[in-house]
Structure 1
Amino acid sequence: MQNQVVRTRFAPSPTGFMHVGNLRTALYEYLIAKSMGGQFVLRIEDTDQERLVEGAVDIIYNTLRKVGLQHDEGPDIGGEYGPYVQSLRKDLYKPYAEQLVEQGKAYYCFCTKERLDALHESKDGEESFGGYDRHCRDLPKEEVERLLAAGTPYVIRQKMPVEGSTTFHDVVYGDITIENRELEDQVLLKSDGYPTYNFANVVDDHLMHITHVVRGCEYLTSTPKYNLLYEAFGWALPTYVHLPLIMGKNEDGSVSKLSKRHGATGFEDLVKEGYLPEAITNYIALLGWCPKENRELFTLAELAEHFSIDGISKSPAVFDYDKLTWFNAEYIRNMPQAEFIAAAQPYFQQVFGDKQVNLEVLATILQPRVTKLTEIPGIIGFFQDLPDYDKEFFINKKSKTNLENSVTMLEAAIAELEQVEDWQLDVIHERLIALAQQLEVKNGTLLWPVRIAAAGMLVTPGGAMEILAILGKDEAVRRLKIGLEKLHH
């Protein structure tokens, strides 16, 4: 296997949204392949027809595209080992299952659903061979042929060893041993002719030359079932990489497996909450993997360059929304301004609609302050409507303002600003600084009442000049006059 090209595959079932656990699996599969000069394959596993959700395949494609995980082969771009959708490979699996029957490694099972349900409800089923009592395992050949000829519905089950144990090696968890008595004679082919997830998985991984199987550690105990299939066919085993659980923090400080009660757990939900795809990807990469160098911020290309399997941890990782928010703020601050404006556009529109606004000035004051894009409407809502505020806001010890001198400052500012024709930030800045000198007051003494009147808030993103520039001349002067009127009453 050392001379083989490393090939990983992301094989999601289109059953709904993309959970962060699925996304991390896809990311690690991509990073393992790319860090070792290999190939990353996308395969859609839709054999469980009852659980399929309309539009789920599009969600898979859109998510991978947004986070930049470009696959080398897949349903949309083809490849040497297609088709890459399991339902289109349906006819492939039955001959393999029948081959195992002929070799005595699998058998036809004619047990009805009613019998199996009754078995699972009774203690007999629980105590014997993982849940199935192997009723059909040793049926006489003549009986099997009679039932087949009569068209009796059947499944094909694998014959599991009834004694001893099965050991396999995982690169994260080391050697794992499972007692064979815990292994059920698993169904390989269902009565509708579709393969089970486990069976199709093994056949497809072999036919697609997948060298590294990457999945959550909840599959550790299932791995002997996969290996026994590989061995039954005489196929080479893949390298197994099982990933630690992702946990969420509970209100009492304890942790449990990440679920919706902890917050958004789907990629699209996190994006809707204002997180950037790049920040989500960077953060998820560190949920279970530790880089060799002391840093946290990585582009996808840098992750591929620095990733190594030996950095994957056995310990569960805790999904910390505060930490994700920190990552997000870092990414927002480091974006080129034009990129930030494009990402923030939907949130600007919520406040301004189609009104023309100086977006460069808006971005200058927001980019250093915003931690999530969804915060934007709340932060800049005062641009849309002047909040009702108390005239006591004009009093500020540090700026040396009171109700009397604020009147003087606003009157002078209104007179000065009404004369400004080129309403640009640098022009407003120049005129107001000169005005403060002319009035022989500190800049803050003039700018505090101007900012309060313009914004109606004690705490604002940006200072008086930026707020005036964004409001536009007419609205800015109107608000300063409202402030003056408030001070007169």
Structure 2
Amino acid sequence: MSNVKVRFPPSPTGYCHVGTARMAVLNYLYAKKHGGTIYFRSEDTDKARSTREFEEDIKDQLTWLGLSWDDFSRSSELVANHTAAMQKLVDEDKAYISEEESKKEPGTMVQVVRLRNPGTTITFTDVIRGDITFDTTELGDFAIARAIDDPLYHLAVVVDDATQGITHVIRGEDHISNTPRQILIQEALGYARPIYAHYPLHLGSDKSKLSKRTGDVSVKSYREKGFLSPALLNYIAILGWTPPSEKEILSLDEMVAEFELTDLHKSGAVFDVEKLRWYNREYLLRMPESEFASEALDRLRKALTAKGVAYDEEIGQKILPNIKERISTWADIDQMCADGELDFFFVDPIPAKEELPGKGSDAATAASHLEKLHEMLSATDSEIFSTPDRLKEVVWDYATQEGRGQVLWPMRYALSGRAKSPDPFMIASAIGKERTLARIVEAKRILTT
């Protein structure tokens, strides 16, 4: 099916919405599966709201997701084709120029071009939904242009599709109601009818339709929050589609190999941000260690430096496993730093005296345990601090004998100054022997003064 031709026809009236991305992904997968051609056509017929800024954003985000196309055009640059088509319709009395009052400016008369609607019943076969029938009588003689040289969307898209030889129109179900108008225009102009496939729209968590005017649904937004492009691409593709292999994690090439329009679901799928975070985490875990370390440490350094915390590369390297275990997106590192969750690795904390003993203990008991811990750790070689497990071996028997909570809580709180933090052995291993002992001494001083 090498003659397949599809299009990405976004309206550049806002930043690239995940719905726009999904449209592009599904068209891309189908075209690549069948060795077809992809046309990116910017549908800038809304002159008041269309901007080059939005157009560039759409192109940039789709490229970031890993998509490409074979040809680019703008509807506004194809007006000569639209004008010729409209003139043909008027000359053949299939359309007419109507002088009527402007809807935007009451009292002002304007000339619009209207299609003479034959009022026929139209049936088209949708690849996903089967046969769909419309009685077009109720549409009346609908407008197809504001003027002979100023086309409206329906006329422009029909002419552009025919000119570019589009064979498959793959789009959201919200365009089903547009299809009878477009078929009437096609028939009036003598154009071949493309194959239609209208997939269900994905929904917000409240089951409502996502909108490009709802702030947090732009691809740019997810990109800025530290989501990886392959993860977002994978999730968008899987929404409302079950690959024959039933795999959740697929590369772009694997998606192409498995994709068929007939496998798309007939009901809408919910766009679940938590599920997207799961996908992103899976991709982070699969990332080469060196690549993960480079990005994670760079973000850690920048976030800490921005808040005036001196960054230590050696400590950063040591806490990488802890960071990797806790994050789902790169932005989680920024948030952890903003919340002060990692400060204690780089800056000595100031433990609160009332928190040091922990539940069921007191200052004297906690001070005694810290004294013993200091004694035990002082007697070890610095090499013992190279891994958390070796430190645990030094302390564990004593903690078990005296009560793990009674011993390990004051140790962990002394090292971190936080009620919630990694285990004390991980912290001690990261900051080293000298700083560990110094923090224990300071905590004991706080308890005894």
**2:302 alignment partner in structure 1:** 349
Would you say 1:108 and 2:97 are equivalent positions? yes
Residue 383 (structure 1) aligned with residue 342 (structure 2) = yes
- Superposed displacement of residue 271, structure 1: 3.0
Residue type at the aligned position of 2:202: I
Instruction: After TM superposition, give the deviation of residue 465 of structure 1 in Å.
Output: 4.6
Map of 1:245 onto structure 2:
201
Question: Which deviates the most, 261-270 or 296-305?
Answer: 261-270
Cα RMSD for the two superposed structures: 3.4
The 1:475/1:231 distance shift into structure 2, 3 A limit, reads: farther
Q: Is the 8 A contact 2:391 2:429 kept in 1?
A: no
CA displacement 1:420-455 (0-9 Å, x = unmatched)? 4x8xx9636587467549x97669968765433222
With 387-396 and 306-315 compared, the bigger mean Cα shift is at 387-396
Q: Which residue of 2 is the match for residue 95 of structure 1? A: 84
CA–CA separation in structure 1 for the residues paired with 2:292 and 2:353: 34
Q: Distance in 2 between matches of 1:318 and 1:382?
A: 32
CA distances 1:190-236 after superposition (whole Å, capped 9, x unpaired)? 23823211211111111112111111101111101111222222222
Name stretches of at least 5 consecutive residues in structure 2 with no aligned partner: none
Write the letter of the residue equivalent to 2:259.
F
Alignment equivalent of 2:273, drawn from 309, 321, 331: 321
Shift of 1:472: 6.5
Residue of structure 2 aligned with 1:451, choices 412, 419, 432: 412
Paired amino acid for 1:42: F
How far apart are residue 26 of structure 1 and its match?
1.0
1:36-75 per-residue CA deviation (whole Å, 9 max, x = no partner) reads 222222121212110124521221122112211122222x
Alpha-carbon distance in 1 for matches of 2:44, 2:197: 23
Residue type at the aligned position of 1:101: V
The answer on whether the counterparts of 2:14 and 2:213 sit within 8 Å (CA) in structure 1 is no
Task: Find the residue that maps to 2:14 and give its secondary structure.
Answer: coil
Alignment of 1:193-232 (within 5 A): 193-232=149-188
Q: Distance in 1 between matches of 2:251 and 2:219?
A: 18
* 1:347/1:373 contact within 8 Å kept: no
Contact 2:319 2:430 (8 Å CA) reproduced: yes
> Which letter does structure 1 place at the counterpart of 2:38?
F
- The one of 24, 34, 39 aligned to 2:37: 39
**CA distance, structure 1, for counterparts of residue 132 and residue 215 of structure 2:** 33
Q: 1:312, 1:470 → 2: CA distance?
A: 49
Q: Give 1:321 deviation, angstroms.
A: 2.3
Deviation of 1:482 (Å): 2.8
Could you give the per-residue CA deviations for residues 134-179 of structure 1, whole angstroms, max 9, x where no partner exists?
xxxxxxxxxxxxxxxxxx95332221113x4111111111111111
The 3-state SS of whatever aligns with 2:283 is helix
Q: Number of residues paired by the alignment?
A: 432
Distance (whole Å) between structure 2 residues aligned to residue 300 and residue 483 of structure 1: 54
Cα distance, 1:113 vs. partner? Answer: 0.6
Distance 1:225 1:261, change over 3 A: closer
1:112-191 to structure 2, matched below 5 A, reads: 112-113=101-102, 154-162=111-119, 164-191=120-147
Amino acid at match of 1:218: D
User: Alpha carbons of 1:20 and 1:347: their partners in 2 closer, same or farther (altered >3 Å)?
Assistant: farther
What is the SS of the residue equivalent to 1:156? strand
Runs of 5+ in structure 1 lacking a partner?
75-83, 119-151
Query: Distance between the aligned counterparts of 2:171 and 2:369, measured in 1?
Result: 65
Give TM-score scaled by structure 2 length.
0.84
For residue 57 of structure 2, give the secondary structure of its aligned residue in structure 1.
Answer: helix
Match of 1:291 among 222, 226, 243: 243
1:467 and 2:427 are equivalent in the alignment: yes
Partner of 1:52: 50
> Partner of 1:248: helix, strand, or coil?
coil
Residue among 53, 76, 86 paired with 2:75: 86
CA contact (8 A) 2:388 2:428 kept: no
CA contact (8 A) 1:357 1:470 kept: no
AA partner of residue 384 (structure 1): D
Distance 1:237 1:402 in 2: 84
TM-score scaled to structure 1, two decimals? 0.77
Between stretches 171-180 and 52-61, larger displacement belongs to 52-61
* Alignment correspondent of 2:13: 15
CA–CA separation in structure 1 for the residues paired with 2:132 and 2:23: 21
Distance change (3 Å), C-alpha of 1:199 and 1:260: closer
Structure 1 residue aligned with 2:370: 407
Q: Match of 1:189, SS?
A: strand
Partner of 1:148: none
Pick closer, same or farther for the CA change 1:171–1:482 going to 2, 3 Å: same
SS of residue paired to 1:242? strand
Hey, what does 1:364 align to over in structure 2? 321
In the alignment, is the contact (CA less than 8 A) between 1:94 and 1:195 conserved in 2?
A: yes
* Maintained 8 Å contact 1:391/1:486: no
The percent identity for this pair of structures is 31
Determine the structure 1 residue equivalent to 2:439.
479
Q: Distance in 2 between matches of 1:342 and 1:314?
A: 43
Counterpart residue type for residue 54 of structure 2: A
Seen in structure 2, the aligned counterparts of structure 1 residues 387 and 38 have a Cα distance that, compared at 3 Å, is: farther
CA displacement at 1:382 relative to structure 2: 3.6
